[in-house]
Structure 1
Amino acid sequence: MNDVLQQPISEIKGVGEKLQSHLNELGLFTVEDLLFYFPHRYDSYEVKPLTELDHNEKATIEGEIVSEPVVSYYGRKKSRLTFTLQVEHFAVKAVMFNRAFAKKQLQQGDTVTVTGKWDQQRLQVTVSQFKKGESKSQAPIQPVYTLKEGVNMNTLRKVMTAAFGEYGGSVKEILPEDLALAYKLPPRREALQQMHYPENRVMLKHAKRRFVYEEFLIFQLKMQLLRKHNRESTHGIVQRYDNQKLTGFVQSLPFELTGAQKRSLAEILKDMKRPHRMNRLLQGDVGSGKTAVAAIALYASITAGYQGALMVPTEILAEQHYQSLSAMFEGRARVELLTGSIKGKKRQEILEAVKAEEIDILVGTHALIQDEVLFSHLGFVIVDEQHRFGVEQRRTLRDKGLSPDVLFMTATPIPRTLAITAFGDMDVSVIDEMPAGRKPVETYWVKGEMTDRVLNFIKKEIDQGHQAYVICPLIEESDQLDIQNAIDLYHQLSSVFEPDISVGLMHGRLHNDEKEEVMKEFADNHLNILVSTTVVEVGVNVPNATMMVIYDAQRFGLSQLHQLRGRVGRGSDQSYCILLADPKGDVGKERMRIMTETNDGFELSEQDLKLRGPGDFFGKKQSGLPEFKVGDMVHDYRALETARKDAAEMIEEDVLDQHESYSSLKEVVYKDKQIMENVLD
């Protein structure tokens, strides 16, 4: 972008070899890296009137010392220094701990500026910093940077000042003038200066606003470019399906589609008619009827003369999908199942039938993507619970057909903000209403001391022929303890319920086939109670299970609690979810309250996002979510929406290439290696 700024950090005055290596550890290698290393927070030393200060918050006040400072000692080598300040018309008590030496520096009659924790009730400040004289001598807002060993705050601030002095003038504007004017954004160089040396809160706010938008826009432009490239470089198949047959099939279903199902289906069918390959995410809450929409789309593809594939994460899920699709398509299409446990002659027959195009729809686990599986005419691929498969696995399945249309499905109700970010290279369809007649799961929050009553409730449900899930508490970062917990709870419940009521156990250390076996026993009603860690399978359908009990529910996020609750309520009987929890903090209590008040996964996911941030939706490691320096996807979601809209228009109208005023922005976007490889290959 700008060669001067690409120089190594060692070119900055005062950066020797040792400091360079410490700065490199912070990820700072070039002058540009340093200039755009933003503070993670700001300490405010702005002097405000006492009436504007918040109780128990950090504050800076200025006044005259009107009493002789007094030191008192307590404990071993502990001291307290107190004096009174006249601030406006008030007498404010100032307290300093273990700073007895300051008595020599402070005299009655001095004007001082002190910063510390403000106690509104006592009119008292617990001083952490003080400066003689008025506050004018120090910057009212100080940047605080993330540091590592070997670099302290003063050193980093000095290096930053040197870098600004030498190279600040080389920072180039990258946003075209019309955009900056439309959103009243300050120029880039000026905004950068305010990020590091804010004059006041208002200037800092505008500078942040500028970089939030810039960051989101660059990210969204990359996403839109990839999306356009994926669409245009993959010549898909135009699926000319038989509308009459399709309408007949939809009318034969034993239920009426909801408005949201119809809307999503229309979006999918429109994609199928296009010459580009479909790359769409269908998201909808547990029980919202995603499978019905997917089945109709599969049938459309069959009437157009193609084969379909449905890939799911586990054998038991594959088995269930196979059963329901076979029933739906009876007399209309041939559905077969292929999983790892189907071997020998049966397997060979299926492989040959797929190749000979005798099978219309093949349902299976990742067994579908093995080399020996050869489709002759694959046109439509559905991947269920798509975040459970690696990118490579999804690609292999896609590559089995001649650019088949691909539909990804997920029951994790991801807030729109996150969906458009994490899946920016996909089109997103949302089913956000429930089919009529589905009974919401009744959810109750009870305290730990009521455990016995909960166990009686479980027994009552089982006596009526129903089944129950019991989920163990989660212990952060400790797989081992989670499993021990599950084993302990299993023994505890076995001693209460057995021999009349059978209890099963499932946890993450069991092999996949062992998990499948336990889950199958539960699905077939050979087990009355299933004790499990959170591995209990997403999507498995056990209509007879009407109870979900979650121990230490305060340890789970809202989305996780909602996913677990979605395991019950799949039959016609009323179902219940009991949250056993004794939350200490307000966030935990709020989470329990929200769970008991709503069954809407999208509403819950928005609340969860506010309470705990985006990382938890996709798991910490493989979230695929970008790390933004300034932008916060939850807090700044409006800016994210705006940036996405602007980026989509820019790519659609090809302004990056057409207009000179966009050339600097284009340069920044194309600096990304992945974009270069994908879009410009």
Structure 2
Amino acid sequence: MKLDQISVRQVKGVSALKEGELHAFGVRTIADLLGYFPFRYEDYRVRELSEVKNGEKATVLGIIRGNGILQRYGRSKSRLTCKIEVSGMLVTAVWFNRHFLKEQLTPGREIMLTGKWEQHRLQMTVSDSEFPDSAKNSKSGSLQPVYSIGGNITQAWIRKTIATALEQYGPMVEEVLPYELVEEHRLMTRAEAFQLLHMPGDFRKGQEARRRMVYEELFLFQLKLQAYRSLNRVRNDGIAFRIESETIRSFAATLPFELTDAQKKVVNEILTDMRRGYSMNRLLQGDVGSGKTVVAAIALYGAVKAGHQGALMVPTEILAEQHAKSLQRMYEGLGVEVGLLTGSMTERKRRDLLASLQMGLIDVVVGTHALIQEGVFFRSLGLVVTDEQHRFGVNQRSILRHKGMNPDVLTMTATPIPRTLAITAYGDMDVSTLKEMPRGRKPIKTYWVKHGSMDRVLGFIRKEVSSGRQVYVICPLIEESDKLDVQNAIDQYVQLQQAFPDLKIGLLHGRMTAAEKDEVMSEFGANESHVLVATTVVEVGVDVPNATLMIIMDAERFGLSQLHQLRGRVGRGEHQSYCVLVADPKSENGRERMKVMTETTDGFEVARRDLELRGPGDFFGTKQSGLPEFKVADMVADYEVLETAREDAGRLTEREDFWKNESFSRLWSILKHDQLFQGEQLD
């Protein structure tokens, strides 16, 4: 039997009760238990006190030189102190709530202490201690694994149980990596790695075991993506669009501006994909204002001229309406019918639009999540474009894709994604990047000020408005909150009305109706209001070229990528634009974010720093991101291994013998287990 078919109950010492508790951690089989790796190690290697820095945790060996002194607080709390000689120094050892140790503290007896060293007080706050003359399973000199546990399961019990399982079943651990890769990268065997991750002995061996398992995790993940990609191309069941180059050139000539070289390159990449017989799966990433919408418009135009329909799905109604108007302007006089589908439409308008869509009278439909609801049918959906894709769940994108016969998919994001994340989250996609800004764009000047400088900020607002420009003021909350001491949009709106009684101030937030939002945005867009106070509703896609000043209140409350998105709402016209971050960050992380924003306007650099500061899990801001949960690997720290694993997986899946050679059968079974061959497309 294989280890993933043997119940964890078969391990000596696992009762029915303990089995139930292990199930709560997702541990059901021997394979699960052996793969339940520690998240860190406690270092019990004995050190000389002179090597230990102040505030550092360490293990030292000493001799008891006094009697224990016990102080009790209430029924269950206590403080025990004792003088210990360590490395020729007399040190005070302090235990909390370990009153039972008092009787064992015999002068002259040897003791091992693990705890935090306070050099100036010559004191160690002890977290663990043992007496070498009576310790059966001494931790001294070892690295002890620390597991994520709860309930009635203790560290001691899980350590012992995993050690028993390794003894019973360790030799049955099967190799999953091809021999050639193990040799090429000088990796230890899988069985050795399991043994050493749980019981490393020393750091060097533990690091080698970790290197092996990091590579395995990243390789197997990339193998799924690369295998899907190669199978998709073999299947060849997508739409091969017949798009004439002259059709695209003549459409581009109607635009009121010339495409940048980057836009031309990306358009060519997309059209080349669309002309092929397999379904395009491409990510278009570009910095704020780099012209992704125009590229999408050209791709949708190509799909329509080839006899199919296009769909553009966006996260908010404001953005849907804006994109619909923008496409209507671009397609004017070219015979392309654009429709808009949102959740707030009247039932009659919705019914008429759905009928037109099904009959093929609408060529391109722009919408929110309403596009993936039941009852939405297309005559011939050929191209799906999703904007700000990380806001849509995996299932939502999949539903839209299934409304056509394997339509091409173009995913757009204005959050530049570091390469590390792009090849992990979107490993099955081809990536196009827009780094070049449209001609004439001036870099936005960014400043960071404290709340005490609000008078200067108000003076800046007056200066810009007097020059005929407009201003955004962004706040993190809609109304006052007891929990967060942050400036809110409604209060800020009132304060600005008092500060500038002669100016028209607008207010925009997520709780307003669609009609109210439209009215406020229309006024601001037509320069009928001077200042717009808003929540992050304006983060994506709102385009007012006359707005030149972005003020972000309590800027430390926002992530770096979000700050960069907000900053991108200005700098869209010919005039110099500015961003002012009003913040008093308490943390080092918060100060670092303000520093990054004032140092660079490059979205890719901002994204790289954001990934370093926040880690991959928080980068997208949602759990729907599709990012895998790795047991050992870390996408930031293990970036080079990720690159290697991707290259290896790509090389392997492109080999003809990969699908025929029996030596790869273990990998086939892993791919089959993940439903790669079930006809479902990975998303």
Same fold by TM (over 0.5)?
Answer: yes
Q: 2:537 aligns with which of 529, 535, 538?
A: 535
Query: Could you list the per-position Cα deviations for residues 324-347 of structure 1 after superposition, in whole angstroms to 9, with x for gaps in the alignment?
Result: 444444554534343447779988
Contact 1:338 1:347 in 2 (8 A): no
> Partners in 2 of 1:405 and 1:218 — Cα distance?
26
Q: 2:389 aligns with which of 380, 386, 392?
A: 386
Query: Could you list the per-position Cα deviations for residues 267-322 of structure 1 after superposition, in whole angstroms to 9, with x for gaps in the alignment?
Result: 21221221112121111111111122223333444554545443434444344334
What amino acid is aligned across from residue 447 of structure 1 in structure 2?
K
Query: Could you list the per-position Cα deviations for residues 5-34 of structure 1 after superposition, in whole angstroms to 9, with x for gaps in the alignment?
Result: 422222221111211111111111112111
Contact 1:319 1:337 in 2 (8 A): no
The 5-angstrom pairing of residues 494-513 of structure 1 reads 494-498=497-501, 500-513=502-515
Tell me the equivalent position of 2:192: 190
Tell me the equivalent position of 1:492: 495
> Partners in 2 of 1:350 and 1:673 — Cα distance?
37
Tell me the equivalent position of 2:128: 129
Compared CA separation, residues 43 and 372, structure 1 to 2 (3 A): closer
> Partners in 1 of 2:515 and 2:483 — Cα distance?
20
Tell me the equivalent position of 1:321: 323
Contact 2:556 2:590 in 1 (8 A): yes
Tell me the equivalent position of 2:433: 430
Secondary structure at 1:550's aligned position in 2?
strand
Q: 1:96 aligns with which of 94, 97, 114?
A: 94
Confirm whether residue 406 of structure 1 aligns to residue 405 of structure 2.
no
Q: Which moved more, 1:133-142 or 1:592-601?
A: 133-142
> Partners in 2 of 1:675 and 1:54 — Cα distance?
56
Tell me the equivalent position of 1:47: 46
The 5-angstrom pairing of residues 177-326 of structure 1 reads 177-233=179-235, 235-250=237-252, 253-326=255-328
Compared CA separation, residues 268 and 344, structure 1 to 2 (3 A): same
Q: Which moved more, 1:175-184 or 1:335-344?
A: 335-344
Compared CA separation, residues 466 and 151, structure 1 to 2 (3 A): same
Secondary structure at 1:118's aligned position in 2?
strand
> Partners in 2 of 1:158 and 1:21 — Cα distance?
18
Compared CA separation, residues 394 and 10, structure 1 to 2 (3 A): closer
> Partners in 2 of 1:37 and 1:453 — Cα distance?
56
> Partners in 2 of 1:488 and 1:349 — Cα distance?
42
What amino acid is aligned across from residue 29 of structure 1 in structure 2?
R
Compared CA separation, residues 308 and 668, structure 1 to 2 (3 A): closer
Compared CA separation, residues 675 and 505, structure 1 to 2 (3 A): farther
Secondary structure at 1:321's aligned position in 2?
helix
Superposition RMSD in Å: 3.6
Compared CA separation, residues 537 and 79, structure 1 to 2 (3 A): closer
> Partners in 1 of 2:127 and 2:558 — Cα distance?
37
Q: 2:177 aligns with which of 172, 175, 193?
A: 175
> Partners in 1 of 2:482 and 2:307 — Cα distance?
48
What amino acid is aligned across from residue 531 of structure 1 in structure 2?
V
> Partners in 2 of 1:227 and 1:480 — Cα distance?
47
> Partners in 2 of 1:148 and 1:75 — Cα distance?
27
Tell me the equivalent position of 1:604: 606
Secondary structure at 1:297's aligned position in 2?
helix
Confirm whether residue 418 of structure 1 aligns to residue 418 of structure 2.
no
Query: Could you list the per-position Cα deviations for residues 650-676 of structure 1 after superposition, in whole angstroms to 9, with x for gaps in the alignment?
Result: 222255432232222332332224664
Confirm whether residue 23 of structure 1 aligns to residue 22 of structure 2.
yes
> Partners in 1 of 2:623 and 2:568 — Cα distance?
24
Tell me the equivalent position of 2:455: 452
Report deviation, 1:406.
Answer: 2.3
Q: Which moved more, 1:597-606 or 1:240-249?
A: 240-249
Tell me the equivalent position of 2:654: 652
Tell me the equivalent position of 1:85: 85
Compared CA separation, residues 308 and 104, structure 1 to 2 (3 A): closer
Tell me the equivalent position of 2:666: 664
Contact 2:3 2:29 in 1 (8 A): no
Secondary structure at 1:644's aligned position in 2?
helix
Contact 1:264 1:429 in 2 (8 A): yes
Q: How many residues align?
A: 675
Q: Which moved more, 1:189-198 or 1:242-251?
A: 242-251
> Partners in 2 of 1:346 and 1:72 — Cα distance?
79
Stretches of structure 2 lacking an aligned partner (at least 5 in a row):
none
> Partners in 1 of 2:138 and 2:369 — Cα distance?
67
User: TM-score w.r.t. structure 1 length?
Assistant: 0.88
Secondary structure at 1:591's aligned position in 2?
helix
Tell me the equivalent position of 1:555: 557
Q: 2:526 aligns with which of 515, 524, 527?
A: 524
Q: Which moved more, 1:198-207 or 1:434-443?
A: 434-443
Compared CA separation, residues 55 and 606, structure 1 to 2 (3 A): farther
Report deviation, 1:508.
Answer: 3.0
Tell me the equivalent position of 1:10: 9
> Partners in 2 of 1:16 and 1:95 — Cα distance?
39
Report deviation, 1:140.
Answer: 1.3
> Partners in 2 of 1:115 and 1:315 — Cα distance?
58
Q: Which moved more, 1:629-638 or 1:592-601?
A: 629-638
What amino acid is aligned across from residue 116 of structure 1 in structure 2?
G
> Partners in 1 of 2:53 and 2:204 — Cα distance?
19
Secondary structure at 1:678's aligned position in 2?
coil
Q: Which moved more, 1:327-336 or 1:614-623?
A: 327-336
Q: Which moved more, 1:611-620 or 1:671-680?
A: 671-680
> Partners in 2 of 1:393 and 1:175 — Cα distance?
34
The 5-angstrom pairing of residues 298-377 of structure 1 reads 298-340=300-342, 361-365=364-368, 376=379
Q: Which moved more, 1:570-579 or 1:110-119?
A: 110-119
> Partners in 1 of 2:474 and 2:611 — Cα distance?
23
Query: Could you list the per-position Cα deviations for residues 606-645 of structure 1 after superposition, in whole angstroms to 9, with x for gaps in the alignment?
Result: 1111111122332233222111111111221222222222
Report deviation, 1:582.
Answer: 0.9
> Partners in 2 of 1:288 and 1:484 — Cα distance?
31
What amino acid is aligned across from residue 19 of structure 1 in structure 2?
K
Report deviation, 1:379.
Answer: 3.6
Query: Could you list the per-position Cα deviations for residues 552-598 of structure 1 after superposition, in whole angstroms to 9, with x for gaps in the alignment?
Result: 11121111111111122212222221111111121111111001111
Contact 1:617 1:623 in 2 (8 A): no
What amino acid is aligned across from residue 190 of structure 1 in structure 2?
E
Contact 2:616 2:636 in 1 (8 A): yes
> Partners in 1 of 2:25 and 2:120 — Cα distance?
42
Secondary structure at 1:622's aligned position in 2?
helix
> Partners in 2 of 1:429 and 1:194 — Cα distance?
42
Report deviation, 1:533.
Answer: 2.3
Stretches of structure 1 lacking an aligned partner (at least 5 in a row):
none
Report deviation, 1:528.
Answer: 2.7
Tell me the equivalent position of 1:466: 469
Q: 1:632 aligns with which of 624, 631, 634?
A: 634
> Partners in 2 of 1:580 and 1:494 — Cα distance?
19
What amino acid is aligned across from residue 61 of structure 1 in structure 2?
V
Report deviation, 1:504.
Answer: 2.8
User: TM-score w.r.t. structure 2 length?
Assistant: 0.88
> Partners in 1 of 2:589 and 2:483 — Cα distance?
27
Contact 2:300 2:383 in 1 (8 A): yes
> Partners in 2 of 1:456 and 1:631 — Cα distance?
50
Report deviation, 1:106.
Answer: 4.6
